[in-house]
């Protein structure tokens, strides 16, 4: 955790220098976990603001949290020994965290840099661009999480007994495997049969699944995210088999355009071209397509029409992670997480499942057919 936080501190110092070294106050889960090395976990998973705020300024680096949570951070993570100051806010005073930050940095709220629109100058887009470049320690954590996700998905679907198991049963196996290793499924979709063929998000409803099953996971641990999808059908003549073969070309097209050196807008154009090449030019409109992943489920998402996005012209850099999500109506979906350097390092293998080769060393788990 210290290595990860130190690498992020170097990045935030560099970023602050471009804004005249102004104090930087981070409040959102993605930015807080990046800067702290994965220290924070939400008490309320629905909250938009993190229970921990982080301030970097000329006076030092401070953790700002409630009087309730401060002892936990100090005892669990030994934050003072790592060089953090700890500022404690009364839980009942909503204005206290910002007041503590301004007092520590000796500035007015308007002088802060922040990752939100509530105070100071919001530089979230710059922060996202910086944190997408993962440190060596972040990459090590992501690899471990990727292996865990691949194993959990395999365990869930391999436990499926067609005609007997429910979607709840599969979801429970996946959740258990993740939580046994300290991870949480922040997105978990399990569904099958006709609901899979007609719905893009067939959330588990307790149905017994007989012919086909899909499991989708975005898991979070130590502030980082990994995403993957697995599909299994009973019969080789299932229409999903044909759709998945068609979708391979779309997946290959976006992976071809994910290496360092171009822009993310070019990557999205390649994705759209992939759909056009298989005779489905508007299919990208039917579901979001994934993108760079790391300290959020996706650091950003782009559509081929969003030329004005601040991420359209953002350069693709080494040491980033991607999880694309191409899909076709009828039940076909491909999703894996890769670390992008000179090639594409597959992070989410599922043991014993068939594997397909892709561009630039990328590999993925193929659709599993039981008969």
Whether residue 141 has pLDDT greater than 80: yes
The percentage of residues in the chain with a pLDDT greater than 90, rounded to a whole number, is 96
C-alpha–C-alpha distance, residues 46 and 42, integer Å:
8
Q: Phi and psi at residue 365, in whole multiples of 5°? A: -75, 125
Average pLDDT along the chain: 96
For residue 294, the 8-state DSSP code is S
Q: What six digits make up the tokens of 164?
A: 């007997």
What pLDDT sits at residue 47?
A: 72
One domain for residues 242 and 360: yes
Boundary residue ending a domain (131, 148, 176)? 131
What pLDDT sits at residue 371?
A: 79
**SS3 call for 62:** strand
Half-sphere exposure of 159 (CA within 13 A, CB side): 19
One domain for residues 148 and 194: yes
**How many structural domains compose the chain?**
2
Q: Which residues of 256-294 are buried (b: 16+ CB within 10 A; e: fewer)?
A: bbbbeeeebbbbbbbbbebbeebebeebbeeeebbbbbb
| pLDDT top residue among 45 and 332 | 332
HEC assignment per residue over 220-289: EECCEEEEEEEEEECCCCCHHHHHHHHHHHHHHHHHHCCCCCCEHHHHHHHHHHHHHHCCCCCHHHHCCC
One domain for residues 86 and 148: no
One domain for residues 55 and 177: no
Query: Between the CA atoms of 151, 317, 15 and 305, what dihedral angle is there, to the nearest 10 degrees?
Result: -90
Q: What six digits make up the tokens of 169?
A: 């049963």
The CATH number of residue 89's host domain is 3.40.350.10
CA angle 166, 172, 177 (to 5 degrees): 140
For 30, 181, 227, 333, 352, the CA distances from 243, given in Å and listed in that order, are: 35, 34, 21, 9, 23
One domain for residues 213 and 261: yes
What pLDDT sits at residue 244?
A: 98
Cα distance between the two ends of the chain:
46
C-alpha–C-alpha distance, residues 223 and 245, integer Å:
34
Residue pair 225/296 in contact by the 8 Å Cβ criterion = yes
C-alpha–C-alpha distance, residues 162 and 181, integer Å:
28
3-state helix, strand, coil in the chain (%, to 5): 35, 25, 40
Residue 241: burial class (beta carbons within 10 Å; 0-12, 13-18, 19+): middle
pLDDT, tens only, 214-253:
999 999 999 999 999 999 999 999 999 999 999 999 999 9
Whether residue 335 has pLDDT greater than 70: yes
One domain for residues 184 and 254: yes
One domain for residues 183 and 314: yes
The percentage of residues in the chain with a pLDDT greater than 70, rounded to a whole number, is 99
If phi > 0 it is left, if psi is from -120 to 50 it is alpha, else beta; for residue 37 that is left
C-alpha–C-alpha distance, residues 106 and 86, integer Å:
16
Residue 48 — pLDDT band, cuts 50, 70, 90? low
One domain for residues 65 and 156: no
Residue 333 — pLDDT band, cuts 50, 70, 90? very high
pLDDT mean over 19-40: 96
What pLDDT sits at residue 292?
A: 98
Boundary residue ending a domain (75, 96, 131)? 131
Whether residue 362 has pLDDT greater than 90: yes
One domain for residues 30 and 106: yes
The CATH number of residue 314's host domain is 3.90.230.10
Boundaries of domain holding 321: 136-369
One domain for residues 127 and 148: no
pLDDT, tens only, 168-207:
999 999 999 999 999 999 999 999 999 999 999 999 999 9
One domain for residues 171 and 68: no
What pLDDT sits at residue 42?
A: 80
One domain for residues 120 and 266: no
What pLDDT sits at residue 317?
A: 97
What pLDDT sits at residue 41?
A: 84
pLDDT, tens only, 65-115:
999 999 999 999 999 999 999 999 999 999 999 999 999 999 999 999 999
Residue 62 — pLDDT band, cuts 50, 70, 90? very high
C-alpha–C-alpha distance, residues 5 and 138, integer Å:
10
pLDDT, tens only, 304-329:
999 999 999 999 999 999 999 999 99
What pLDDT sits at residue 114?
A: 98
What pLDDT sits at residue 44?
A: 80
* pTM for the full predicted model: 0.97
HEC assignment per residue over 139-208: HHHHHHHHHHHHHHHHHHHHCCCCCCCEHHHHHHHHHHHHHCCCCEEEEEEEEEHHHHHHCCCCCCCCCE
Boundary residue ending a domain (131, 155, 188)? 131
């Amino acid at each position: 955790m210290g290595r990860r936080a130190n690498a992020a501190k170097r990045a935030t110092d560099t970023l602050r220098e471009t804004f005249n070294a102004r104090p930087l106050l981070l409040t959102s889960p993605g930015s807080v976990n990046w800067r702290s090395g994965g220290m924070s976990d939400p008490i309320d998973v629905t909250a938009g603001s993190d229970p921990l705020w982080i301030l970097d300024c000329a006076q030092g680096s401070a953790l700002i949290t409630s009087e309730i949570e401060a002892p936990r951070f100090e005892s669990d993570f030994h934050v003072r020994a790592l060089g953090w100051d700890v500022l404690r806010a009364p839980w009942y005073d909503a204005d206290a965290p910002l007041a503590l930050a301004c007092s520590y940095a000796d500035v007015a709220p308007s002088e802060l840099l922040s990752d939100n629109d509530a105070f100071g100058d919001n530089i979230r887009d710059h922060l996202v661009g910086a944190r997408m470049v993962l440190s060596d320690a972040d990459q090590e954590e992501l690899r471990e999480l990727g292996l865990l996700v691949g194993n959990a998905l395999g365990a869930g679907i391999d436990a499926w007994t067609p005609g007997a198991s429910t979607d709840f049963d599969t979801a429970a196996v996946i959740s258990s495997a993740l939580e046994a290793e300290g991870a949480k499924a922040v997105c978990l979709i399990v569904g099958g049969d006709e609901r899979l063929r007609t719905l893009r998000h067939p959330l588990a409803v307790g149905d017994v699944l007989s012919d086909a099953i899909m499991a989708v996971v975005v898991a979070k641990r130590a502030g980082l995210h990994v995403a993957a999808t697995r599909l299994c059908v009973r019969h080789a003549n299932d229409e999903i088999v044909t759709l998945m073969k068609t979708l391979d070309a779309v997946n290959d097209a976006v992976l071809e355009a994910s290496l360092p050196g171009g822009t993310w807008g070019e990557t999205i154009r390649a994705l759209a071209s992939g759909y056009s090449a298989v005779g489905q030019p508007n299919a990208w409109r039917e579901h979001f397509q994934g993108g760079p992943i790391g300290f959020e489920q996706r650091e950003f998402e782009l559509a081929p029409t969003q030329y004005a996005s601040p991420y359209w012209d953002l350069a693709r850099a080494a040491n980033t992670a991607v999880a694309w999500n191409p899909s076709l109506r009828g039940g076909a979906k491909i999703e894996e997480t890769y670390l992008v350097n000179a090639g594409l390092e597959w992070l989410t293998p599922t043991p014993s499942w068939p594997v397909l080769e892709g561009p630039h060393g990328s590999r993925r788990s193929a659709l599993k057919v039981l008969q």
